[in-house]
Amino acid sequence: MELPKALITEKQIEEKITLLGKIITKDFENKNLTIICVTKGSILFMADLMRQINMPCKIDFIGASSYEDTESTGKVKINFASKNKDFSNENILIVDDILDTGKTLSRIISYIHEKLKPIDIKTCVLLDKPSRRVVDINSDYVGFEIPNKFVIGYGLDYNEHYRNLPYIGILK
């Protein structure tokens, strides 16, 4: 497989995450923080981001899938193993790889709101493709705004490939 050129380099990702970590640490000071990682695409982002959050926090994982090839099927399937845990005293930060049409994140927010009833829900996405938005939603914390191109790497896949690329590139 031919490797794509970097749209966002490892160094740019690292610097941005350091900055996001500082802002999030300040914003959640003295609050109970649970970070919920949207698998699988966000695992690299989550692992790097949580190391830059300098305060006690818990972590969890939620599965959401809607994509086949480069087009969304529109239906978002949710898979959350911790649905019976008590989140009523938690401030939740959802960490996702990319905000595209907005269907996934809005579905996850409604699910968490209805099922877990936490104190508060905020969102953090590494990438934002605002030109593709279908649902009226914005993320509280955004790493990079990108053009309408299908990107891969740093967790993001094309049919499950390229997730292990350490940088973000555009699929050829």
Among 41, 118, 143, 153, which residue sits at the site for ligand IMP (rule: CB under 6 A)? 41
Minimum Å distance from CB 49 to ligand IMP? 15
41 binds Mg ion (CB under 5 A): yes
Residue 64, SS3? strand
Question: Hey, what amino acid is at 99?
Answer: L
169 binds ligand IMP (CB under 6 A): no
C-alpha dist (Å) from residue 88 to 15, 29, 55, 107, 117: 33, 18, 20, 19, 6
State the catalytic residue, choosing from 96, 100, 128, 136: 100
CA dihedral sign of residues 43, 47, 49, 53: positive
Distance of CA 106 to the CA centre of its chain: 12
- Which residues ranging from 57 to 116 are in contact with Mg ion (CB under 5 A)? none
Choices 25-33, 64-72, 82-90, 112-120 (CB under 6 A): range interacting with ligand IMP = 64-72
Q: From the list ligand IMP, Mg ion, none, which binds 32 (C-beta under 5 to 8 Å, kind-based)?
A: none
- Integer Cα distance of 162 and 81 in angstroms: 26
67 binds ligand IMP (CB under 6 A): yes
Cβ neighbors of 86 (< 8 A, separation 6 or more) are none
39 binds ligand IMP (CB under 6 A): no
Which residues contact ligand IMP (rule: CB under 6 A)?
Answer: 41, 66-67, 72, 96-105, 150-152, 156
